[in-house]
Amino acid sequence: MIRFLIQSNYACIVMCVLMLVYLGIDRSFERKVRNLFGIAVWAVLALTLVDAVDLYNTKQDWNVIAGNCLNAIGMVLRPLPIFCIALIICRYRDKKYYGMILPFCINCLLALCIIPSGVCFIFSKENFFLYILLNYSPYLVCFFYMFVLVILTLLEYRQNGIPEMLTIFMIALITIVATVLESVFEFDFFLNVSFIISLMFYYLFLHVQIYKRDSLTNLLNRRSFYLDASDNLEYPMTIAEIDLNNLKKINDSAGHSVGDKAILTVVDAMKTGIINGYSIYRTGGDEFMMLGIKKSRSESENIMKQIMEHLKDTPYQISYGIAEYDPGMSLEKVVKNADENMYQMKRETKQGRNDSEKKS
């Protein structure tokens, strides 16, 4: 029996330990994100050990009190990793989702208060484990949080990006399959392994995103722009270069925190005005690029007008230049054309402002 338990759980325990070590030495993410990953991994490690001891106990002279305690701990730990993943998804939101913790708290109360009374499950004198409906509480909570994962991912896809959305969908699918196998078909240890694999994959995905995205805006960076453009050279594209007007003046007069606020305001306007088929990149301090695959100049002009419309109620303005790419053209030349068109608009805006001041 011990040999079977070691064979079944060795890989999961090793992955948990390695990830805990890596979380301890890695500082790529802010403390909140590292702590959530850490809590999730510790929960998986504890759940693996508890499930192993619980299974061992069922094959030995059963102690009912010990069995109740082990199952209570397992009930508490089982939904915790997926709950942590849900909190990581909404890491950029100021709004707190306090309601998300309610199912977890109810599950904990069922485990800690109702289990000793034998309401959730009982053991016969022959040590036969008798399931009662409430024993499925942790699995129902897992299903709830997997539903929450999908909803949060859809809500946050503009902020986190489509690749993260697909990653979360994959995690949800893996976890759903494992939950069904454990709760319905009574497979052992499937959920634990699914959790740690999902956590490692998600952490690796987020780690890769650090090198693809700008830290302030979470937009894709300059390197990502050229990679994406180079991957689509066989298609017609429109490229727009966008510049936040007077950012240096804002930084010098009001400070960089106000300048950061200006950048984030413009980014929010871009995300609101953008449609499918377009991607936005931050390529410099006040410079952005918009890439439209198989999009026409008129479509891109309409997008830019929408973005400027969203900025009307703010003290910030942008200048932009659009250039069209056709297969066979030089990408660098098209980017240069967009840059020149942007500076032309910037000069015209400045000239128009000077003329208005003279008239006044």
**What local confidence, expressed as pLDDT, does residue 302 receive?**
94
Give the architecture (CATH level 2) of 2-210. Answer: Up-down Bundle (1.20)
Task: Specify the CATH number for 220-359; select among 3.30.70.270, 3.30.70.100, 3.40.50.2300, 3.40.50.720.
Answer: 3.30.70.270
CB 48 within 8 A of CB 13: yes
Would you write out the chain's pLDDT as a tens digit for each of its 360 residues?
A: 889 999 999 999 999 999 999 999 998 898 999 999 999 999 999 999 999 998 887 777 666 677 778 888 998 999 999 999 999 988 877 666 678 899 999 989 888 776 555 555 554 544 444 455 567 788 999 999 999 989 988 887 777 788 888 999 999 999 999 999 988 888 889 999 999 999 999 999 999 988 899 989 989 999 999 999 999 999 999 999 999 999 999 999 999 999 999 999 999 999 888 888 899 999 999 999 999 999 999 999 999 999 999 999 899 999 999 999 999 999 999 999 999 999 999 998 877 665 555 555
**What local confidence, expressed as pLDDT, does residue 61 receive?**
64
Please give the sequence-ordered ranges of beta strands (E in DSSP) within the chain, or none if there are none.
121-123, 129-131, 220-221, 237-244, 278-282, 287-293, 318-325
**What local confidence, expressed as pLDDT, does residue 287 receive?**
95
pTM of the model: 0.82
Q: Amino acid identity of 137?
A: S
Domain 2-210 identical in fold to domain 220-359: no
Range 151-186 burial, b when 16+ CB lie within 10 A, else e: ebbeebeebbbeebbebbeebbebbeebbeebbeee
Residue entry with tokens 């990408």 = 331
**Domain residue spans in the chain?**
2-210, 220-359
**What local confidence, expressed as pLDDT, does residue 128 receive?**
46
Strand duo 220-221 + 278-282: pairing: parallel
